[in-house]
Amino acid sequence: MSDVYLNSDRLAVSCRGVTKVYGRGNNAVMALRGVDLDVPMGELSLLVGPSGCGKTTLLSVIAGILEPSEGTVAVVGTDLSRLSNAQKVAFRGRNIGFVFQQFNLLPALSAAENVAVPGIILGMPRRAAVQRGAEVLASIGMGDRINSLPQNLSGGQQQRVAIARALMHEPSLLVCDEPTSALDARNGQLIMELLREIAMQANRAVVVVTHDSRVFEFGDRIAYMDDGHIQRIEIQDLSHRSPLTIGH
């Protein structure tokens, strides 16, 4: 497959003039009204704003799940509008990982087996996939829980397993929709610290949609949205932060 590369190697995402209209005629809802957004590699970017302002729509457009009505979206240098649906599915499979509010773990499978599922679906032999799943879990401080069933893990630990599952295919871009909403304050902070550490890895970026103002402090970049627009972007210098607490 031939991806279309733009001159934006250091950008994980670049949106220009993105609009999204749901429905038609009298029922039309303009969810995005011309969004320009750059997401640099190596950063954790937050999309924040009141309910209904377009955060999830923008995240879905960035992730190639939803077509914009107008405008362009490039992800790791690939213009998504130039890809067929099948190419888009393949592109997502290679480049994008997803984390949701609900952990969606399979209850009968161990942590390592849950992480292995995307690898098995992509054709990896089961044993190798579970081994790799265990390694990914260890890399995010969950090495001692690889054999645990989800029911024996806390909410924060379950979200870590879901994050490991999203990292299984080593995506350049991790998109997370309200990843802390189901967690208490402490676990929410730990998950954000983990996501920030992941974002700082080479050739990787993390975009988080959240309405949880308790986690704003973890964003290198905060895009404040309102009524389909990005009103302003705040850049926070987090370099003073002490080494992150992976695995604690």
Looking at beta carbons only, is 27 or 239 nearer to ligand ADP?
27
Q: Which element (helix H / strand E) includes 235?
A: strand 229-235
| 140-159 positions binding ligand ADP, by CB under 6 A | none
Is residue 55 part of the contact set for ligand ADP (CB under 6 A)? yes
Looking at beta carbons only, is 101 or 131 nearer to ligand ADP?
101
Looking at beta carbons only, is 76 or 207 nearer to ligand ADP?
207
Judged by CB under 6 A, which of 56, 81, 131, 181 binds ligand ADP? Answer: 56
Is residue 230 part of the contact set for ligand ADP (CB under 6 A)? no
How far is 8 from 15, CA to CA, in rounded Å?
12
Tokens of 194: 């983990």
Q: Are 47 and 239 in contact (CB under 8 A)?
A: no
Considering the complex, what minimum distance in angstroms separates the CB of residue 89 from ligand ADP? Answer: 20
Residue 247 φ then ψ, to 5° = 85, 0
How far is 220 from 122, CA to CA, in rounded Å?
33
Q: Which element (helix H / strand E) includes 44?
A: strand 44-48
Looking at beta carbons only, is 49 or 119 nearer to ligand ADP?
49
Considering the complex, what minimum distance in angstroms separates the CB of residue 10 from ligand ADP? Answer: 27
Considering the complex, what minimum distance in angstroms separates the CB of residue 71 from ligand ADP? Answer: 15
Could you tell me how many helices (H) and strands (E) the chain has, helices first?
6, 10
- The interaxial angle of helices 111-121 and 155-167, nearest 10 deg, is 30
How far is 149 from 158, CA to CA, in rounded Å?
9
Is residue 54 part of the contact set for ligand ADP (CB under 6 A)? yes
| 14-53 positions binding ligand ADP, by CB under 6 A | 22-23, 29, 31, 49, 51-53
- Enumerate binding residues for ligand ADP (CB under 6 A): 22-23, 29, 31, 49, 51-57
